[in-house]
Amino acid sequence: MTDDTDGPLAGLVVLEAGSMISGPTVGRLLADFGATVIKIEHPEFGDHIRNFGPKKDGVGLWHKYLSRNKQSITLNISTDSGSAVFEDLVSEADLLVENFRPGTLERWGLGWEHLSDVNPDLVMLRMSGFGQDGPYAERPGFGTLAEAMSGFAYLNGFPDSPPLLPPTGLADNIAALFSTFAVMFALYHRDVNDGGGQYIDTSLIEPIFGLLGPQPLRYDQLGEIESRSGNRSTSSAPRNVYRTGDDRWVAISASAQPLAMRTFDAIDRPDLKDDPRFETNAKRLENVDELDAIIQGWMDEHTREEILESFEEADATIAPVYNVEDILNDEHYAARESFISVDDEDLGEATVQNVFPKFSKTPGKVDHLGPSLGEHNDDVYRDRLGYDDEMLADLDSEGAI
């Protein structure tokens, strides 16, 4: 019997044989909600995410965030003894997450056909750049390539600028979100429908492609290819980012007719409601340069605080453009506990995002940040698998752990 405070996934055992962002993000999301996530890392260098991006005193901050709530064990799966240990782990797991290049596990004799024999109830998530099949399957794949090939970069940016890549792992995170609910679908089918295990094939290119709206339908039916529009929308106006009089930024989105009318009230121009150039969304799109110039002219004469107050009084839609310092000082984020402080043996008191979304009965929680390499070897090998000193010594001498 589990306690509600353990999270909705308490008792679920997950093996994470993944590296960098996509696979480990799935593991983080599941661990945040109570799953036991055993992160398998190479004995010599661990997950490459440990040395990726910003560090404090040699400690990788990406690792601290992505590996939170997980257990870390060392295991060289490519060795004969390491693969045998891996099979023991798989035999007791509900879910395996892996993001090796397609064919890698098969070369080690650890493909789906074999692992499903080891554990018929296993759900196996396979993440890769281009998927497990198709002409590009064996290419090395990273989020940047997916952001380029999905159509996202082509749409992102300004009309007179090159295609624009995102500054963070967007494709990896989108694929991880798709994959997280996919594994829950598969576990539901296994446990509720008595459907047994199965494997899930997630590419990085398809989930982000799937979020770009009706692009294929538009091309198929209208022969149109949408191009870059900067901060504007091709579907509604006004929608843009504007500089304020005190040299800050705000964003407006008036995607419905009442919102556009309230925007005109907010900028002290109710006369624009009856202006034939702006009375409908179609007209506003046709005259968007003039509309943006009017809005920007009003913004130039006001501070960000004044602008936000005026829009709030008019019940119009606006938001300040925040950096991370702004977020950590915002009263709404603080009231919702969107970030929390966690005591960490390497970093001391450290601030990270909290667990989202909020559950009324079985909330997730952040118990600890990313562990040291192999910190949970004893917990897993001795307590979970029942290995004794002699077995562990042999595995160590063989370079397996």
pLDDT digits (tens, 9 = 90+) for 315-366: 999 999 999 999 999 999 999 999 999 999 999 999 999 999 999 999 999 9
- Structural tokens at position 350: 């450290």
- What is the four-CA torsion angle of 212, 218, 220, 223, rounded to 10 degrees? -120
Closest CA to 25 of 81, 97, 110: 97
pLDDT digits (tens, 9 = 90+) for 163-185: 999 999 999 999 999 999 999 99
Query: By percentage, how much of the chain surpasses pLDDT 90?
Result: 99
pLDDT digits (tens, 9 = 90+) for 92-143: 999 999 999 999 999 999 999 999 999 999 999 999 999 999 999 999 999 9
Amino acid making up residue 95: L
Q: Is the pTM of this model over 0.85?
A: yes
Q: Is a pLDDT exceeding 80 seen at residue 2?
A: no
**Could you tell me which CATH class the domain 239-322 is placed in?**
alpha beta
Q: Is a pLDDT exceeding 90 seen at residue 3?
A: no
CB atoms inside a 10 Å sphere around CB 90: 19
What residue ranges do the domains of the chain occupy? Answer: 13-211+337-398, 239-322
Burial class (CB in 10 A: 0-12, 13-18, 19+), 145: middle
CA 171 to chain centre: 8
Superfamily of domain 13-211+337-398: Crotonobetainyl-coa:carnitine coa-transferase; domain 1 (3.40.50.10540)
Q: What is the DSSP string of 277-328?
A: TTSSHHHHHHTHHHHHHHHHHHHHTS-HHHHHHHHHHTT--EEE---HHHHH
Q: Is a pLDDT exceeding 60 seen at residue 390?
A: yes
Residues annotated as part of the active site = 172
Q: Burial letters for 263-295: b for 16+ Cβ neighbours within 10 Å, e otherwise?
A: bbbbbebeebeebeebeebeebbebbeebbebb
